[in-house]
Amino acid sequence: MNAQKSSLYLDYAATTPLAPEVFEAMTPILRDGFGNASSIHRHGREARAAMDDSRESLAQLLHADFSEVYFTGSGTESDNLALIGTMLAAAKGKNHLVTTEIEHHAVLHAAHWLQERDFEVTLVSPDRYGNISPENIAEAMTEKTALVSVMHANNEIGTIQDIKSIAKIAHENGAKFHTDAVQSAPYLSLNVDDLNCDLLSFCAHKMYGPKGAGALYIRQGTKLNPVQVGGAQEREKRAGTENVAAIVGFGRAAELVMKRRETDNLRLTALRDRFIWLLETRLTGVTLNGDRLNRLPNNVNVSLEGVEGSTLLMRLDRAGISASSGSACSSGSIEPSHVLKAIGLSDSLASSGVRFSLGRETTEEDLETAVEALISSVNAMRR
């Protein structure tokens, strides 16, 4: 997992390197454990047993029952299954979804898919720090609302939501509640009873596990239609042969999170705050995006006046530093981040947003290096 220091990785929110312990857990499956978990012979039973061990580890992470964890292929698939599956299974007349303007596109695009099929969707706006007001959620709900979906912590600006209060409002109004916990899983408690959620999405590769493994928590009694058919896997909720090696890695990654979370968070929070202080004291025209205190311990998202974000990222890349932006390139044009626009930033500031996300290998020296490169790049671009 050791990265070359000439290539400084500060994009852990996009994906994390595979932890050595996870690699070790996956290796025997990749080498010898080729059985199909749906087969009844010995090889199939061994694969099923390995999956069940990982399902139990994920259930422990969530403080949930083993039977409430369903494997998918990604966080995106989990979000799609939660939204589309729940809305398709909703009672007659319950055709309204409430979500927010700052969700990941896995949720927003699923909401748009539902709209095209005559479901009603309401998008709730955040405040300037990315907080979603429970009162605004309540105002958006109607007697037709079947589901409320609000992400646990924002993938771009790191703001953490008051999920428990929002879920309470959803339930009081007769709706189910889903949260996208893909970004929060390595850092925040995912106790599903404390969060009061009916559905929760998360995945392996944001928590030092492999790509290709996601999961959806579905509380017992929650109705949900499959959106992928063709087999009886995952108790007929998600057809398709399971990626056993990735699932085993997912389980091991979850075990490491439970063991390391408190220590990792203390260290990352100190590094995050140090990095923000360096940026704000050594550069002019810096705007910190997101809630200053109520944010993920590894997230630093800033807008830089007079700078175009994608160009800055290319300059940083040439300097050996990997960071990211919320901007998306479409047909040769750069669109400002929908999250930064939703919190009220101008097009120019939204387009200048850059996200640095820290991880287990990030050091204070790394941040000093990143700040120096950033100062050099920004000053050159502002000339």
The pLDDT assigned to 383 comes to: 82
Rounded CA separation 95/79 (Å): 18
User: Is 1 a member of any domain?
Assistant: no
Q: Check whether residue 62 and residue 211 sit in a common domain.
A: yes
Rounded CA separation 141/130 (Å): 20
Separation of CA 165 from chain center: 20
Q: What range defines the domain where residue 365 resides?
A: 8-17+261-382
User: Is 75 a member of any domain?
Assistant: yes
Q: How many CB atoms lie within 10 A of CB 28?
A: 12
User: Is 250 a member of any domain?
Assistant: yes
Of 207, 226, 256, the residue that ends a domain is: 256
User: For residue 149, what are the β-bridge partners?
Assistant: 178
Q: Check whether residue 184 and residue 325 sit in a common domain.
A: no
Q: Check whether residue 273 and residue 244 sit in a common domain.
A: no
Q: For residues 128 and 151, is the Cβ–Cβ distance under 8 A?
A: no
Q: Check whether residue 165 and residue 266 sit in a common domain.
A: no
Q: For residues 14 and 357, is the Cβ–Cβ distance under 8 A?
A: yes
Q: What is the end-to-end Cα distance of the chain in Å, rounded? A: 39
The pLDDT assigned to 6 comes to: 59
Residue 372's SS3 state is helix
Q: What is the DSSP string of 160-221?
A: BP-HHHHHHHHHHTT-EEEEE-TTTTTTS---HHHHT-SEEEEESTTTTS-TT-EEEEE-TT
User: Is 202 a member of any domain?
Assistant: yes
Q: For residues 323 and 354, is the Cβ–Cβ distance under 8 A?
A: yes
Q: Check whether residue 295 and residue 206 sit in a common domain.
A: no
Residues of the chain with pLDDT under 50: 1-5, 327-333
Q: Check whether residue 170 and residue 99 sit in a common domain.
A: yes
Q: Kindly state the helix (H) or strand (E) to which residue 276 belongs, with its residue range.
A: helix 244-282
Q: For residues 83 and 107, is the Cβ–Cβ distance under 8 A?
A: yes
Q: For residues 201 and 173, is the Cβ–Cβ distance under 8 A?
A: no
Count: domains in the chain: 2
Q: What is the pLDDT of residues 78-130, one digit of tens each?
A: 999 999 999 999 999 999 999 999 999 999 999 999 999 999 999 999 999 99
Q: Check whether residue 228 and residue 265 sit in a common domain.
A: no
**pTM of the model as a whole:** 0.95
Rounded CA separation 205/212 (Å): 8
Of 221, 256, 291, the residue that ends a domain is: 256
Strand order in the sheet with 145-149: 69-72, 214-218, 199-203, 176-180, 145-149, 96-100, 120-124
The dihedral built from the CA positions of residue 355, 358, 362 and 368, taken in this order, carries a sign that is: positive
The pLDDT assigned to 326 comes to: 64
Specify the amino acid at residue 43: H
Catalytically active residues are 329
Q: Check whether residue 13 and residue 88 sit in a common domain.
A: no
Extended beta strands in the chain, E state:
8-9, 69-72, 96-100, 120-124, 145-149, 176-180, 199-203, 214-218, 286-288, 299-304, 321-322, 328-330, 333-335, 353-357
Q: Check whether residue 251 and residue 266 sit in a common domain.
A: no
User: For residue 287, what are the β-bridge partners?
Assistant: 303
User: Is 235 a member of any domain?
Assistant: yes
> What CATH number corresponds to the domain at position 317?
3.90.1150.10
> What CATH number corresponds to the domain at position 24?
3.40.640.10
The pLDDT assigned to 1 comes to: 42
Q: Check whether residue 38 and residue 147 sit in a common domain.
A: yes
Residue 351's SS3 state is helix
User: Is 2 a member of any domain?
Assistant: no
Rounded CA separation 116/307 (Å): 37
DSSP 8-state code for residue 227: S
Of 224, 256, 288, the residue that ends a domain is: 256
Q: Check whether residue 97 and residue 69 sit in a common domain.
A: yes
Q: CA 313 → CA 50, 176, 237, distances in Å?
A: 41, 40, 40
User: Is 3 a member of any domain?
Assistant: no
Q: Check whether residue 268 and residue 215 sit in a common domain.
A: no
User: Is 240 a member of any domain?
Assistant: yes
